[in-house]
């Protein structure tokens, strides 16, 4: 692991909602923690969380975007679903540089249609539409750093 790799990891953690990251790779252990003071342990039990369904995540915009006018207008549009980023990383619209994008505005997609790739630590993770319909808007630029839950594109559901 190079110094550039460590800097990239630090930027990803800094721009994410994570408070701590521990990474062990080839005998190297890297621990990153946000803040300067150690966290105080509390005796309060953590509430049990219900697992969110994939269908629910398509219809619910992330809290960070809910307050934006564009996000609010699109969320009120009937039959339009948001396809969120499943991970924090770099979003790519095409399978390789110079290749045509997976989808364009106006493209028909199925639930399992690949709409992009998220690169995390040199691992490529496919992003699927998760809904059947027509792509109405592509919000994430090719090569952009995206957050977990950030809307990548919008799809008008087919009836």
Mean pLDDT by 10 residues, the chain (159 residues): 77 74 75 58 46 42 43 60 94 94 95 95 93 95 95 92
pLDDT of residue 35: 61
pLDDT of residue 2: 77
- State the fold for domain 56-157: OB fold (Dihydrolipoamide Acetyltransferase, E2P) (2.40.50)
Q: What angle do CA 154, 127, 17 make, to 5 degrees?
A: 85
CB contact at 8 A, 9 and 30: yes
Query: pTM score, two decimals?
Result: 0.54
Task: Please state the domain extents for the chain.
Answer: 3-33, 56-157
pLDDT of residue 26: 74
Segments of the chain assigned E as strands: 20-25, 28-33, 80-84, 89-92, 108-109, 114-120, 123-128, 133-138, 144-146, 151-157
Q: What is the dihedral of CA 31, 37, 43, 46, to 10 degrees?
A: -50
Instruction: Tell me the torsion sign for CA atoms 33, 150, 129, 141.
Output: negative
């Amino acid at each position: 692991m190079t110094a550039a790799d460590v800097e990239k990891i630090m930027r990803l953690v800094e721009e994410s909602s994570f408070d701590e990251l521990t990474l062990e790779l080839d005998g190297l252990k890297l621990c990153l923690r946000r803040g300067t003071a150690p966290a105080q342990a509390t005796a309060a039990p953590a509430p049990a969380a219900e697992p969110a369904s994939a269908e629910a995540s398509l219809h619910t915009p992330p809290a960070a975007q809910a307050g934006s006018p564009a996000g609010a207008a699109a969320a009120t549009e009937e039959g339009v679903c948001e396809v969120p980023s499943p991970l924090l990383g770099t979003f790519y619209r095409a399978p390789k540089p110079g290749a045509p994008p997976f989808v364009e505005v106006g493209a028909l997609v199925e639930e399992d249609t690949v709409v992009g790739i998220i690169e995390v630590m040199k691992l490529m993770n496919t992003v699927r539409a998760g809904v059947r319909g027509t792509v109405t808007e592509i919000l994430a630029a090719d090569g952009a750093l995206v957050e977990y839950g950030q809307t990548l594109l919008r799809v008008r559901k087919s009836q």
